[in-house]
Amino acid sequence: MKYDLIIPIYNIQNELDACLDSIRRQTHGDFRAILVDDGSTDGSSRIAKDYAKRDFRFEYYRKENGGLSDARNFGMGKISSAYVVFVDGDDFLEADALLAIDRELAKSPVDVLEFNGWVVKDGERIRKINFRPIEAGVIKNGQDYFLDNIKARSVNVSAWSKAVRSELLLRRRHFFAKGLLHEDELWTPRLYFLAETVRYADKCLYNYVWRESSITHHPDKSENARHAKRIYRRLELYYRRLDLANRPRRILLGYLSRQMIEACRMSPKEGMTTADKKFILRNARDVRSVGKALLFLAAPGRYGALSQVIKKIIRY
């Protein structure tokens, strides 16, 4: 089976060789690597062009800078294979990643095959991305898969952790929202509700490289917090419009309430507005969410410490 890999590239000359070399060395060689240069101003363009010249499986495209979502959307306009895999240009794949994906899909083709990855810092693997995987190998519809993962506290929204049927994305025009940080947190839940079949393979196939210079890891998280809040408000409207029974809706909205708490905690500078408080309260629909909401609103500054104390009490 052939795969399209979409690789957005922007000013990552020091990391790009490792990414593209990990793709070139894949033990399953039937792929197209769609290199989307999002207006790089460093040596990234030269590196990407060189790979495209040396290996016919690599295709180079350059566009004006528009951000990660825009680059991914551009790449999706070029896909023609059965499945698409997203690879960020500063990360890298395990050598047998595509072979493992291909074997899993040969056993049971699904709309979305989800897998795992490592966090890599200073060349060392420091932890698995999803350390609470559930029911590997079980095929579910997307809604049930998402709800079960929420209940198990094992949601992985990263676009890179999935091989997605290309026809599903194109037919339903499921693209990334432009101009947002944390774009995967909006894209992935909607993907689950579009997918008829989803399966998890408990295999670490991807290496997420921790970079201090990344905006995700910048010490000032005020912009991250603002964008996360915008996404959760969009998802609230989306979930309320879905034709769902009361229990699934409560699970989804309760999860959003807890996510909004974490967004408010993300940046003391951004803080919590009255609108944020109302969001947290109106979406707290289950015991866990209500408890967290009341604890956070009563003592936002001590929420983290108090949560740990309560966890220890419950555990014993």
The pTM assigned to this predicted structure is 0.93
Q: What is the pLDDT along the chain (316 residues), one digit of tens a residue?
A: 799 999 999 999 999 999 999 999 999 999 999 999 999 999 999 999 999 999 999 999 999 999 999 999 999 999 999 999 999 999 999 999 999 999 999 999 999 999 999 999 999 999 998 756 678 889 999 999 999 999 998 999 999 999 999 999 999 999 999 999 999 999 999 999 999 999 999 999 999 999 765 545 556 789 999 999 999 999 999 999 999 999 999 999 999 999 999 999 998 888 899 999 999 999 998 888 999 999 889 888 888 876 776 665 544 4
Q: Tell me which residue of 254, 303, 277 sits closest to 311, measured CA to CA.
A: 303
Cβ distance 51 to 7 under 8 Å?
no
Structural domains of the chain, with CATH: 3-216 (3.90.550.10), 220-299 (no CATH)
Token pair of 315 as six digits: 């555990």
Per-residue DSSP letter, 140:
B
Conformation bin of residue 72: beta by default, left when phi > 0, alpha when psi is -120 to 50: alpha
Pairwise CA distance, residues 123 & 31, whole Å = 27
Token pair of 130 as six digits: 């999803």
